[in-house]
Structure 1
Amino acid sequence: MRTATVHRATAETAIDVTVNLDGTGCYANETGIGFLDHMLDQLARHSLIDLEVKVAGDLHIDGHHTTEDAGLAIGQAFAKALGDKRGIRRYGEALSPMDETLTRIALDISGRPWLVWNATFTVQSLGTLQTEMIEHFFHSFAQEAGITLHVDLLHGHNNHHIAESLFKGLARALRMAVEIDPRKADAVPSTKGVL
């Protein structure tokens, strides 16, 4: 089983993350930010990656540190669970429709973190999650997971739908990319021999 647990503690947050890349989409997420919990639940459910995230953060200030550090810790856990990345498909993509909204996610588990972000929101927050923190979460996750990640909002105007479509698309693309390729289960998917 490709599993990992990460504990991250700073003066701003204390976070415990457990992932199982070969799970069934089980989740138990408690960040103190309801909308972020909802998005992490979607990430787990639609990737079939078990995810447990517990955060004690400085929410008396705002949700910035909690959201950023959750992204970092989840990314660290993904990288740890992937190990040498032997046998993975490596690439993943998803078109994610949700009512009037359509987003596209494409990613490469390359070891070269990068985020290209082409999505905007027209409200400042969804629940208590500041919408600007959604891009920041994706950036933090990609950075620590070592993923090249392209995010595009193709169309949509309901901000809840946009956010949910983005997380579901990330989930589906991750599901594809972390799966073991039965044709090359013993090889690292790179001509360099390492990712």
Structure 2
Amino acid sequence: MRTGRIERNTSETKILVEVNLDGTGQYDISTGIGFLDHMVEQFSRHSLIDVTMKVDGDLHVDQHHTTEDSALALGQAISQALGDKAGIGRYGSSFSPMDETLARVALDISGRPFLVWNAAFTQEKLGELDTELIEHWFQSIAQTAGITLHIELLYGQNNHHICEAIYKGFARAMRTAVESDPRKGNAIPSTKGQLGG
């Protein structure tokens, strides 16, 4: 089983994240931000990556540290579970519809973090989550998981649908990218013989 476990303790947040890349989409999420919990649950369920995430953050200040650090820790746990990335699909993409909304997510677990974000929200909050932090969440997970990540909203009006379509698209793309391909055996999916740099 490909698993990762990260404990991240700072003066701003205390976090425990555990992942199992070969799971069934089981989750136990508690960040203190209800809408963020809902989105990470969607990620787990649709990627089939089991995720435990416990966050005690400085929400009396604002949501920034909790949102950012939860994504950093999740990315670190995924990177740890991937190891040298031998045999993985590496690439993943998904068109994700939700009612009137359609999002497109494409990614490469390349070891070279990069985010292209082409989406926007027309309200400041979803539940209690500041929508400006959603792009930052994806930037943070791309950074520590070593993902080149392209996210585009093709169209949509309902802000909840937009956000959920993006998270579900990310989940489906990650499912494809992290899955082991038996035809690849233990080969690193790069002609360089390594990923990153």
TM-score range, shorter chain: over 0.9
Q: Report what 1:105 is aligned to.
A: 105
Q: Report what 1:29 is aligned to.
A: 29
Q: Deviations over 1:58-116 (max 9, x none)?
A: 00111110000001000000100000000000000000000000000000000000000
TM-score by length of 1: 0.99
> Structure 2: where are the runs of 5+ without partners?
none
Q: Report what 2:149 is aligned to.
A: 149
- Tell me, in whole angstroms, the C-alpha distance in 2 between the residues paired with 1:49 and 1:102: 23
Q: Report what 1:173 is aligned to.
A: 173
- Tell me, in whole angstroms, the C-alpha distance in 2 between the residues paired with 1:130 and 1:114: 22
Q: Does residue 59 in structure 1 map to residue 59 in structure 2?
A: yes
Q: What is the Cα-based RMSD across aligned positions, in Å?
A: 0.4
- Tell me, in whole angstroms, the C-alpha distance in 1 between the residues paired with 2:97 and 2:185: 31
Which amino acid in structure 1 is aligned with residue 165 of structure 2? S
Which amino acid in structure 2 is aligned with residue 76 of structure 1? Q
How far the C-alpha of 1:139 sits from its partner, in A, is 0.2
Identity rate, percent: 67
- Tell me, in whole angstroms, the C-alpha distance in 1 between the residues paired with 2:185 and 2:154: 34
Q: Does residue 184 in structure 1 map to residue 184 in structure 2?
A: yes
- Tell me, in whole angstroms, the C-alpha distance in 1 between the residues paired with 2:52 and 2:186: 29
Alignment of 1:6-25 (within 5 A): 6-25=6-25
- Tell me, in whole angstroms, the C-alpha distance in 2 between the residues paired with 1:169 and 1:132: 19
Q: Does residue 160 in structure 1 map to residue 170 in structure 2?
A: no
How far the C-alpha of 1:56 sits from its partner, in A, is 0.1
How many aligned residue pairs are there? Answer: 195
> Structure 1: where are the runs of 5+ without partners?
none
- Tell me, in whole angstroms, the C-alpha distance in 1 between the residues paired with 2:120 and 2:185: 39
Q: Report what 1:81 is aligned to.
A: 81
Structure 1 SS opposite 2:24: coil
- Tell me, in whole angstroms, the C-alpha distance in 1 between the residues paired with 2:62 and 2:126: 14
Q: Deviations over 1:116-167 (max 9, x none)?
A: 0000000001011000100000000000000000000000010000000000
Which amino acid in structure 1 is aligned with residue 69 of structure 2? D
Which amino acid in structure 1 is aligned with residue 15 of structure 2? I
How far the C-alpha of 1:186 sits from its partner, in A, is 1.4
Q: Report what 1:3 is aligned to.
A: 3
Structure 2 SS opposite 1:45: helix
Which amino acid in structure 1 is aligned with residue 33 of structure 2? I
Structure 2 SS opposite 1:150: strand
Moved over 6 A (4+): none
Structure 2 SS opposite 1:102: strand
TM-score by length of 2: 0.98
How far the C-alpha of 1:185 sits from its partner, in A, is 2.1
Structure 1 SS opposite 2:138: helix
